Every structure is written in C-alpha cells, then in structure tokens.
Amino acid sequence: MYKNFDDVVNFAINFRHELHKNPELTWEETNTAKAIREILDNHNITYKTYANTGTVALFAQDKKGLHIALRGDIDALPLEEKTNVEYKSTKAKCMHACGHDGHTATLMAVAIWLKQNEKKLQNPVSLIFQPAEEGGHGAKKMLEEGALKNVDMIFGWHNWPAIKFGQAICPEGTVMAGNGTFHITLKGQGGHSSQPELCRDPVLAASALTMALQQIVSRQVAPQDAVVVSVTSIDAPSGVTVIPDIAKVEGSIRVPNLKLKEKVFKQIKIISQNIATTYNVDIDVELRDRYNATINHKEASLKVRKVLKETLGEQWQSDIATPIMASEDFSYYLNDIPGAFALIGSDDGEEKHQKACHNVYYDFNDKLIKPVSITLMKLANFDF
C-alpha cells in the first residue's frame, strides 16, 4: 500500500527511466510487456494479454456503469539517442523518442492507484498498454483480438513539446491528421553524362516530379483544407559521370479525412504518369495507406475539456492550430467506439522538453505524469 499518490508518481518516474534505458521497437516489445505484467502481478491487478505484447489491465468489471478504457502506447523508434540523460538508451539505434515510455509509466501510475482504491470505482475500467503504435497498426490488432470488447468509451493522450506545460488541446472533430506514403520508381536508360541525348534520364524526371507534386496542395486542394504532401527522399545512386537507369522518389501525405486522402493519392498517380510521359521514362507508383485521421467524438471531447480545466486550471487551453498534422493509430479506436484524444503540453522551458517528438535529443517530461494520471482517472469517473 502506498501512503499517498506522490509515492506512486515517484514509482512511475523510476519505471519510466527503466523503460527509457531499455526501449524496444514496434512488435518487438517482449521485455517491455514482461515488465508491465510483472508490476501488475506484484500489485494483484487482473489483466489479459492481446496481440502478443499488448496488455489490458481490468478494474471493477462487475460494476454496471459506463465501461471506460484508457490507452498508453509502449513501443520505441529506430533512432540513435543523443541526449546525455543518466537513463539514456542502452540499445543502439533504438530510442523512446516519442514519449511512449512516459505514456506507459503514466498509465501504470493510474493502474496502481485504481487498484489500491478499486472499491471507489463506480464503473468498469480497462487500461490498454498497446504495442506497435509507430506504424505497426497495433490498435487495429488489439481491436481484432477483442481487447475493447464491451468498452463503451475510450480516452487517450500524447505529450506534445510544441504546447506549453500546463496547457493542452482536445477539440471536437479532427485532432490529428491521417497519413499515407508514396513510393515511386522511375526507370530510364543510363549512360555517360557527356551524352545525355542517348539516355532517358530518370534523375531529371525525378526532379521534375518532385516539383510537380507540390502543386497538389497549392492548386488542387482548397486553402481551408489541412493537407501536406512532402517528398522526403530522392534516391538515384550513381557515379559523378554516369546517368543511372533508376531513380526513386518517396514521401508522405497528411490529410484531415478519407475523402481528401483518396483525392491526393489520385493526383499523385496522375502527375506521376504525366511526368513519365513527358520525360520518356517508365514509372511504377506504389501508394500505401497508413492511419486515418484521429477524429474526436463530441460528448467524449467535451468531457476531456472539462477535466483538463479541473486539473490544469483556467488557462489550460492552448491556441495551437488543429488538426496537428502528425498521425496516430488511436484513430482505429475512435472509428470503432466513442472517445477522444488529447495533446498535452510538455514545454516547461527546459531545452530537452522543447525538442520535437522523433528527435534524437527528445526526452519525455516527467512532470506530466502526475497531472495526466489524475486527468485519466477523472475521465474514468474516479473521484481523485
């Protein structure tokens, strides 16, 4: 038994640091899942396992009220950490650069305190420790295996360094964009750089394609629509005097809804084919669907905003523009049941807490664990 909640928070902070030292990539979170389950076992918390490394902790399942689920993600990223924190990652090219270690630790604080006060719960609560958020569609797999069976409403959150500490956002409607990727191969005919007339230059075609794709947002989409098309890679390895046979262009899109995703993908295909014809090269266009937009439900988002005001104070609401153009697989849950997703600020003035997610110098702000865990418990109707 813990004397007070601050003791639980300190436990969660230490747990976060251990997770940070020992990160695991998407669908490889075996030791992370083991650590989560050991703590749940040690606190006599009932749980079920899903999707191999996913865990759902269960509370007051015999109660008759609205069944609330709270979610935290557990996977890391393939990045080489460059911070100097004492709990720096011990694994090469693997880092908790998005704060999932903090999300997991926060949810664990909730789990421990709810178990210690389970008799006070008025409704069933499930805590979802979800794997494979980073492009692995972990939420989809959890749903397919029944992790949210009988759940009536779900809430989630993400730390956000672009928002000041003590502020947050949780709009009704779209909070984060949907995404997809494009992978385009241009096949020409290589040769000596001194004789371009004898070649079909895929590098020139790739350059023209990169520029042409920019007109999708500027000319094919209304200014009021939040859409991003980013070419992130042009790959045409060759010698300095050699025109290669092949060039590859890759990138990603961000869109607020499925209709716009379909429109942007269609335009990428049309433009690519036209460029191929113009530059006399063959082309192969592969479009990969990833996550849909994360769209908050009205009643659930209203509840989150009410609780955030209680826990963060009157000035809780950030004026950051929405939707955020990053993407989240929490969208799978919101497509299935009512719920809402919040972005909660971590920028307290320290440089490491201002680094964007997916940055090698990023570090989760431990100060978030207490107010966010209280927020989550209130969303589960626990009178903290």
Residues tagged in the binding site annotation for Mn(2+) = 98, 100, 134, 158, 358
Sign of CA dihedral 34, 290, 174, 352: positive
* CA 228, chain centre distance (Å): 17
Maximum separation of any 2 CA atoms in the chain, in Å: 81
Cβ atoms of residues 77 and 133 within 8 Å: no
Instruction: Please report where in the chains the tokens 């989809």 appear, as a residue.
Output: 140
Cα dist from 296 to 156, 335, 343, whole Å: 10, 9, 12
How far apart CA 25 and CA 3 sit, in angstroms, is: 35
Contacts of 322 (CB under 8 A, 6+ apart): 169, 171, 174, 175
Residue from 342, 281, 359, 353 nearest 306 by CA: 342
CB 154 within 8 A of CB 68: yes
- The set of residues, in sequence order, having a beta carbon less than 8 Å from that of 160 and lying 6+ positions away, is 320, 324, 343, 344, 345, 346, 357
Name the residue type at position 199.
Answer: C
51 DSSP assignment: T
Binding-site annotation: residue ranges: 98, 100, 134, 158, 358
Burial 347-380, CB ≥16 within 10 A → b, else e: beeeebbbbebebeebbbbbbbbbbbbbbbbbbb
Q: Which residues, listed in sequence order, are joined to residue 74 by a DSSP beta bridge?
A: none
Q: How many Å apart are CA 245 and CA 307, to the nearest integer?
A: 59
For residue 123, what is the enclosing H or E element? none
